[in-house]
Amino acid sequence: MDVPDENGETKAQGPVYALGIDFLSPNSRQIEIWKLERRLVDGRLPENMNEVLLGTKLAERLGIAPEDTVTFIGSTMHNAFTTHNFTVVGTFKLNLGPVDRQMMLVDISGARLALDMEDAASEILGFSESLLYEDIAEVALRQNFKSHGDSIEQYLRDTQSYETLSHMNRWEDMIEDEKMTLSKQRSQGLADNDMYGTNNEWGEDAVEDPGIFSPVMLALRDANQMGTMVDFSNAAMAIMLVIFLAIVMIVLWNMGLMSGLRRYGEIGMRLAIGESKGQVYRSMIIESVIIGFIGSIIGTAMGLGLTYYMQEVGVDYSEAMESLGSTEIIMSNVFYAQVTPELYYIGFIPGVLATVLGTMMAGRAIYKREMAQLFKELET
């Protein structure tokens, strides 16, 4: 990026990490996705394709203020040199560590004009309606698209073969079905003999593969080893849940044993007056279900309150993230929680289950009580 002075001479220059996103379409949710209304520090949002937003650190480093003109210097999609003037209308702070030092956001229409990419895009990002990532659903969507993508690739190859064969003698004398059959046979033959692409075996006889222009869909797990992170996060959640459940169960088992000692005489009296061991055991389990349910309600209410606070405020790790010098790692400086519908009931699973399991393990002592000893215990 080049920053001119009042005479049009270069005042400052610096590298820029620019993204073209859809600001101006009526139904676009990009402002919501990027949370720009909350992250805008100065100025306003772009209102036309020649207006851009800059990261606050980039603007401060180059001495740029809102309403200044900057010149983007780069290359088009055809590797041709290009320059384009943009007007800076605002600055923002994304809290993305080193990326903030080079970030520029421009409307997709302005980016296409500057890069000679009319009606083209290097990448199309898809978001679910909830803006939350569901790995199983997205992988299924990718697989479904892949089946159609293979058809698109074959269609592009057949179309190329059709155009190539159209230069044959007496091509126009053939009926359309014969033309399509020959085109498909040629495409299949080229594919079977591995003549598409840059195979060294065929050299100059290799045929440029039009299938390279067929769209490819990737799920989040397919990009930059994100699959490892997705699997790790899922496994970590499961491991933490199991460990938490085991610890709570052991604690409640101990509490159940202590409660059994305190209620030793009560249980003996109930057995002595004719109540069966199974009835006593079941009543204790019912008590544990009620206690676990009430405790889960209180715990869920407290947890939701803390989660909502973390959702709105977050935890700031700016100092740690600022030490990163690479823009390859894009990670927010502020970590937020997310209140989701699952949080309203997920806590009841360990809350009730751990209480019941602890009581069941502690309650086994009921079946070890000998009826012959009950009256002796009552006498003492």
SS3 string, 235-297, reads HHHHHHHHHHHHHHHHHHHHHHHHHHHHCHHHHHHHHHCCCCHHHHHHHHHHHHHHHHHHHHH
* Torsion of Cα atoms, 287 then 289 then 294 then 299, to 10°: 130
Examine residue 144 and state whether it is found in any structural domain, yes or no.
Answer: yes
Above 90 in pLDDT, residue 50?
yes
Over residues 23-27, mean pLDDT: 88
**Residue 128 belongs to some domain of the structure:** no
Give the count of domains, the chain: 3
- At 235, the pLDDT band (50, 70, 90 cuts) reads confident
Q: What are phi and psi of 11, to 5 degrees?
A: -95, -40
Task: Tell me, yes or no, whether 179 and 110 share the same domain.
Answer: no
286/364 same-domain check: yes
Nearest to 304, CA basis, from 335, 348, 352, 334: 348
256 CB neighbour count, 10 Å cutoff? 23
* Residues 233 and 373 placed together within one structural domain of the fold: yes
Whether 82 shows a pLDDT value over 70: the answer reads yes
- Residues 151, 92, single domain; the answer is no
In a domain, 127, yes or no: no
Q: Would 130 be classed as within a structural domain?
A: no
Same domain, residue pair 16 and 78: yes
Q: How many CB atoms lie within 10 A of CB 352?
A: 19
- Residue 277 within any structural domain of the chain: yes
The span from the CA of 299 to the CA of 303, in Å, is 6
Alpha carbons 295 and 303: distance in angstroms, whole number: 12
pLDDT given at position 210: 75
The one-letter code for the residue type at 364 is R
Predicted pLDDT at 97: 67
Mean pLDDT of 262-269: 70
Q: Single out the residue of 360, 359, 373, 380 nearest to residue 272, CA to CA.
A: 373
Specify the pLDDT at position 53.
Answer: 94
Highest mean pLDDT among 79-83, 175-179, 262-266: 79-83
How far from 312 is each of 51, 283, 315, CA to CA, in Å? 30, 44, 10
| Closest by Cα among 55, 51, 30 to 42 | 55
Contact 53, 65 (CB under 8 A): no
Is the pLDDT score of 204 beyond 80? Answer: no
**Do residue 207 and residue 161 come from a single domain?**
yes
Mean pLDDT of 220-231: 78
> What is the pLDDT of the chain when averaged over all its residues?
81
- Least confident segment among 191-205, 220-234, 319-333: 319-333
Q: pLDDT: is 318 or 357 the higher one?
A: 357
- Least confident span in 8-12, 15-19, 73-77, 145-149: 145-149
Are 229 and 372 found together in one domain? yes
Two tokens at 172? 């126009």
What are the tens digits of pLDDT across the range 134-181?
A: 888 888 888 888 777 677 778 888 888 888 888 887 788 888 888 888
Q: What's the pLDDT at 319?
A: 65
pLDDT of 107 > 90? The answer is yes
Least confident of 11-15, 58-62, 142-146, 226-230: 226-230
More confident residue, 67 or 155: 67
Range of the domain at 144: 135-213
Residue 122 lies in a domain: no
Amino acid identity of residue 282, one-letter, is: R
Q: Are residues 170 and 105 both part of a single domain? A: no
139 assigned to some structural domain: yes
* Least confident span in 32-36, 41-45, 151-155, 184-188: 151-155
Apex 354 CA angle, 351 and 360, nearest 5: 135
Residue 324: pLDDT over 70: no
pLDDT of residue 54: 93
Binning pLDDT at 50, 70 and 90, where does residue 322 land?
low
What band does 2 get if pLDDT is binned at 50, 70 and 90?
very high
Q: Is the pLDDT of residue 357 over 90?
A: no
Residue 126 within any structural domain of the chain:
no
Angle between helices 264-272 and 277-312 (to 10 degrees): 140
The single-letter DSSP state of residue 49 is T
Is the domain of 142 the same as that of 72? Answer: no
**pLDDT number for residue 91:** 93
Q: Are residues 88 and 180 in the same domain?
A: no
The pLDDT, as a whole number, for residue 375 is: 59
> Given this model, what pLDDT does residue 298 score?
92
- 68 lies in the same domain as 11: yes
Q: Report the DSSP beta bridge partners of residue 10.
A: 4
Tell me, yes or no, whether 303 and 344 share the same domain: yes
Question: What integer is the mean pLDDT of 341-348?
Answer: 82
Beta strands in the chain (DSSP E): 2-4, 10-13, 17-21, 40-43, 51-55, 69-75, 81-92, 103-107, 315-316, 334-335
pLDDT of residue 81: 92
Which of 68, 84, 115 is the last residue before a domain boundary? 115
Q: What is the pTM of this model?
A: 0.57
Residue 170: both structure tokens together:
């007496």
Specify the pLDDT at position 138.
Answer: 85
